[in-house]
Chains A and B, each alone.
Chain A
Amino acid sequence: MGNTSSMLTQYDIEEVQEHCNHSCLVCPVSQQEIVSLYQRFCQLDRNGGGFIREEEFLSVPEFAVNPLSQRLLRMLDGLNFKEFVAFLSAFSSRASLQQKIEFIFKVYDLDCNGKVAFDDMLDVLRDLTGSYISEQQRQQVLTHVLEEAGYTKDSMLILADFIKILGSSEMKMEVEVPVD
């Protein structure tokens, strides 16, 4: 799968699917979807470097206006195609709820130490609300809902906590990959 070729072989596709299979037996991304995603990846990777750079992501206006774009850019930094598909596999309709919650956890846990602290949650809340809530109010709201759920300001949440908290939510996190 070189940078210059735009043709994927069957072998390449299977390699990508294997890479996605980390926590499940069946890859949530179909072969057709991988082909479409590869076309998209090549379209975004304008300089053919094998990975999509920050400016190339930000040249998509719909992405640039998203409040979480900076956080996601840190997760997308330097991903090659295999990793790109693995990243997006959480948004497949066939992905399990567990996979989706894991993805959300990773967005909070940017430094990948397996723990989400009060500050991480505050950072995300700040990205989502901007200057429309004062910093003090944000801290108050977050502390309030944490305590109501049985945690404290100093609690470090792990993936299991996220699964417990979000497991009962209606999680609609699906994007359809257009297949020609």
Chain B
Amino acid sequence: MRKLKSSSSEMELDRPNIEEYLPIESIQHHHENLRLRDLLNISPTLTEAAGAIIDDSFTRCFKSNPPEPWNWNIYLFPQWCCGVVVRYGILFPARVLVLTLGWIIFLSSYIPVHFLLRGHDKRRKKIERYLVEIICSFFVASWTGVVKYHGPRPSMRPKQVFVANHTSMIDFIILEQMTPFAVIMQKHPGWVGLLQSTILESVGCIWFHRSEAKDREIVARKLREHVQAIDSNPLLIFPEGTCVNNNYTVMFKKGAFELGCTVCPVAIKYNKIFVDAFWNSKKQSFTMHLLRLMTSWAVVCDVWYLEPQNLKPGETPIEFAERVRDIISVRAGLKKVPWDGYLKYSRPGPKHTERKQQSFAESVLRRLEES
């Protein structure tokens, strides 16, 4: 069990006023004397605690709901068995074949281009981007991705970033097959990390380490540099910072919204009809997740490219982030919760507790003065 540590005070500044979302319990504002029973009656605080134990909005964001089994009777069960045979015995090997083919084509083109066109960087990058788009299309084909894109294709313009809600690492692949985005990602171990450091470098990617506090300044600087460079690919950012189960959105980090660029929201909604595309990184590795997708019938999803947004005059980056989150949540039919996605990895700071303590202390003192 990973040890939880308190989040740094910097992360506290990221959040808009959480009190607007959470119910504020305080002792009743009677203007009567303070009695013993008022001090001993801790029921509001206890009720809040019990409410959190029984059901809380944060854990709900990361719950993968198992689909209702439909194969429960004598007619449907054999059909389901045939389905399993087809999926595992026919579809899966065919898909592995397709993917292998894709990798062969990709590597046999990418490696020569990467080394032979060393001097001609511009052309090399162009070809490499195209090849990355191709391998992503192969990936999507390998889980029979049925993706419907809505809205105008993003035009490549300087000073713009793209933000999207995050359900799984395949979000990136689905978007990348249409447009060569550069992306900012958490550095992963294993074969994913290898891909990150070699191939994704060609489209321009920024790495960060969630657990390092100093990393945030470095990342913010890299973001700014990338956006200001003329020929870099448009940057795709997932401001939630973690994978959420595609029914909710957690709070957007303000980093993408204070770069002085236009922000183009992209909403992604997966249809759970054949498989739940949510990658619960605590429960399974990415490899297992991919295998699950490859042995299902199809991955169906909708992608909406939404209207580009700019910082309004007088709006803070946090308000801007919340406004864009609202746009994306409405479009994809997701509910908003006021939690920071990084609370998956660390505990909330003392600020929220202190606010409650302050409110209670003030009401006690106030009533004391009146008695």
User: Which positions in A face B, CB cutoff 8 Å?
Assistant: 37, 40, 43-44, 46-47, 53, 55-69, 72, 76, 88, 91, 100, 103-104, 107-108, 121, 124-125, 128-133, 137, 141-142, 144-146, 148-149, 151, 162, 165-166, 168-175, 177-178
A121 touches B40 (CB 8 A): yes
B52 touches A130 (CB 8 A): no
B58 touches A60 (CB 8 A): yes
B40 touches A166 (CB 8 A): yes
Q: A40-B53, A61-B343, A104-B41 are in contact. List 20 more A-B contacts (CB 8 A).
A: A40-B54, A56-B1, A59-B4, A59-B347, A61-B347, A62-B56, A63-B53, A69-B49, A72-B49, A88-B50, A128-B45, A130-B353, A132-B357, A133-B361, A137-B365, A149-B37, A151-B36, A165-B37, A166-B41, A173-B46
Residues on B with C-beta less than 8 A from A145 are 34-36, 38-39
- What CA separation (Å) do A124 and B50 show in the bound complex? 17
A161 CB to nearest B CB, Å: 10
B37 touches A168 (CB 8 A): yes
Interface residues on chain B, size class: 35 or more
B361 touches A132 (CB 8 A): yes
B48 touches A66 (CB 8 A): yes
Interface: B352 (CB within 8 A): yes
Closest 3 CB pairs of A and B: A130-B357, A132-B361, A62-B52
B354 touches A165 (CB 8 A): no
B41 touches A128 (CB 8 A): no
- What CA separation (Å) do A61 and B338 show in the bound complex? 11
B56 CB to nearest A CB, Å: 5
A67 touches B45 (CB 8 A): yes
Residues on B with C-beta less than 8 A from A55 are 1, 3-4
Residues on A with C-beta less than 8 A from B87 are none
B333 CB to nearest A CB, Å: 20
Residues on B with C-beta less than 8 A from A177 are 54-55
B37 touches A173 (CB 8 A): no
A94 CB to nearest B CB, Å: 15
Contact of A128 among B1, B42, B52 (CB under 8 A): B42
Q: What is the chain B residue whose CB lies nearest that of A66?
A: B49
Residues on A with C-beta less than 8 A from B42 are 68, 104, 107, 124, 128
B56 touches A61 (CB 8 A): yes
- 9 A–B contacts from the bound complex (CB under 8 Å): A61-B56, A61-B339, A62-B58, A65-B352, A66-B49, A66-B353, A67-B353, A166-B37, A172-B44
